[in-house]
């Protein structure tokens, strides 16, 4: 990666996304911090610029819980930039209680998976035109407890927020594997990683400031955001990763993901369902 590289990072105002933005900005690359809140985004932008000394860091706004917001961002991005070298799909949410996206989908599935599914597909043409390029998806070890509930993907009948989060994080891996297959021969790769347990604002309600009991209790034992970002930076910058496609990483090493995550029929079925849900023309 050099100062001509262009990187988009979702959820860049907090936790792992912000730490990744700071470290990648230090390489001199152009960093687009993609955030849903202008206020939180502007505050983080100042920090990232100050800490990295890189003024080619920019803020753009996109709510991954709104398909229109994603499409609007992609149009705006393509008007402004002719290349995209690295896309880091990092944003994520854990929120107790049943919530829906602007389009009526269950929040965890909608934001963590579907939003990134649409964002990536809408940016695929510019990624391919910029090859070699990399897509990096942030998943979680929690995917091992996850299952895709095809008969009720919005979990209307049997909802718990952990079930919903685990489903969305398994979806991140299935999406990575299916995408990597479709990208073969394009010079664009897709990999994913589990950052480990990291003390961030994940699980903290942005309106009330309250967090889940488990996250508050365990936080003192977690890694810092900077440590949590190390694998993202490795996947974005290392020459070792050139040509590596369709792998799951933990602590900068390719490791196996759950048995369920390798099911090719499930990955294809999820892709088809996601495509239908975003009602777009993507192939
Ligand atoms: N922390 C851990 O222990 C851990 C473990 C495994 C995996 N992960 C994964 O790591 C990733 C980063 O999480 P984090 O721990 O750094 O949490 P975080 O500090 O809460 O950051 C999450 C980011 O996602 C953004 N976001 C949430 N909903 C969004 C939406 N609708 N549209 C756009 N952006 C949205 C947040 O924006 P706002 O600030 O505006 O809400 C924030 O910037 C997530 O994918 C998470 O699943 C984390």
Residue 58 lies in a domain: yes
pLDDT at 282 (0 to 100): 43
pLDDT at 79 (0 to 100): 98
Contact residues of ligand 1, CB 6 A cut-off = 10-11, 13-17, 36-37, 40, 63-65, 90-93, 111, 138, 140, 194-195, 197-198, 200-202, 206
CA distance 136 to 170: 15
Helix (H) or strand (E) holding 214: helix 213-218
Q: Is the dihedral of CA 224, 226, 229, 230 positive or negative?
A: negative
Report the separation in Å between the CA atom of 126 and the middle of ligand 1, taken as the mean of its atom positions.
Answer: 25
Atom of ligand 1 nearest to the CA of 172: 45
The low-confidence residues of the chain, meaning pLDDT below 50, are: 281-283
pLDDT at 214 (0 to 100): 66
- CB-count burial class (<10 Å; 0-12, 13-18, 19+) for 34: buried
Residue 216 lies in a domain: no
Residue 122 lies in a domain: yes
Q: Are 66 and 114 in contact (CB under 8 A)?
A: no
pTM (2 d.p.): 0.96
Q: What is the pLDDT of residues 236-268, one digit of tens each?
A: 999 999 999 999 999 999 999 999 999 999 999
Q: Are 181 and 265 in contact (CB under 8 A)?
A: no
Residue 215 lies in a domain: no
Is 81 tagged catalytic? no
Residue 57 lies in a domain: yes
CB neighbours of residue 32 within 10 Å: 24
Ligand 1 pocket mutation, candidates 48, 92, 139, criterion most atoms within 8 A of CB: 92
CA distance 118 to 75: 13
CATH of the domain at 39: 3.40.50.720
pLDDT at 268 (0 to 100): 98
Beta strand ranges found along the chain (DSSP E): 6-10, 30-35, 57-61, 86-89, 133-138, 188-194, 248-250, 253-255
Task: Give the chain's domain count.
Answer: 1
What range does the domain containing 88 cover? 6-195+224-278
First to last CA, the chain: 29
Instruction: Collect all residues with Cβ–Cβ distance below 8 Å to 151 and sequence separation of at least 6.
Output: none
pLDDT at 219 (0 to 100): 76
Indicate the angle between helix axes 230-237 and 15-25, nearest 10 degrees: 40
Catalytic annotation, pick one of 105, 165, 177, 248 = 165
């Amino acid at each position: 990666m050099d100062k001509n590289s262009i990187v988009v990072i979702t959820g860049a105002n907090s936790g792992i996304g912000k730490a990744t933005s700071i470290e990648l900005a230090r390489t001199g690359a152009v960093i687009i911090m993609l955030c849903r809140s202008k206020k939180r985004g502007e505050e983080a932008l100042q920090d990232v610029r100050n800490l990295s000394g890189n003024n080619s860091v920019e803020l753009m706004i996109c709510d991954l819980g709104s398909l229109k917001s994603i499409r609007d961002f992609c149009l705006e991005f393509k008007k402004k930039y002719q290349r995209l070298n690295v896309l880091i799909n990092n944003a994520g949410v854990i929120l107790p209680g049943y919530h829906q996206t602007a389009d009526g989908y269950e929040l965890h599935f909608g934001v963590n998976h579907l939003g990134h599914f649409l964002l990536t597909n809408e940016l695929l043409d510019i990624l391919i035109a910029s090859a070699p390029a990399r897509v990096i998806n942030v998943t979680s070890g929690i995917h091992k407890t996850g299952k895709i509930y095809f008969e009720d993907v919005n979990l209307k009948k049997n909802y718990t927020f952990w079930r919903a989060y685990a489903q969305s994080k398994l979806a991140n891996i299935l999406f990575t594997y299916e995408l990597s297959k479709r990208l073969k021969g394009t010079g664009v790769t897709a990999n994913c990683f589990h950052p480990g347990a990291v003390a961030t604002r994940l699980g903290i309600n942005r309106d009330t400031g309250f967090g889940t009991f488990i996250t508050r209790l365990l936080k003192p034992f977690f890694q810092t955001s900077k440590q949590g970002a190390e694998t993202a930076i490795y996947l974005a910058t290392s020459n070792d990763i050139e040509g590596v496609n369709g792998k799951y990483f933990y602590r900068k090493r390719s490791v196996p993901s759950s048995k369920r995550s390798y099911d090719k029929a499930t990955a294809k079925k999820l892709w088809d369902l996601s495509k239908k849900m975003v009602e777009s023309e993507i192939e």
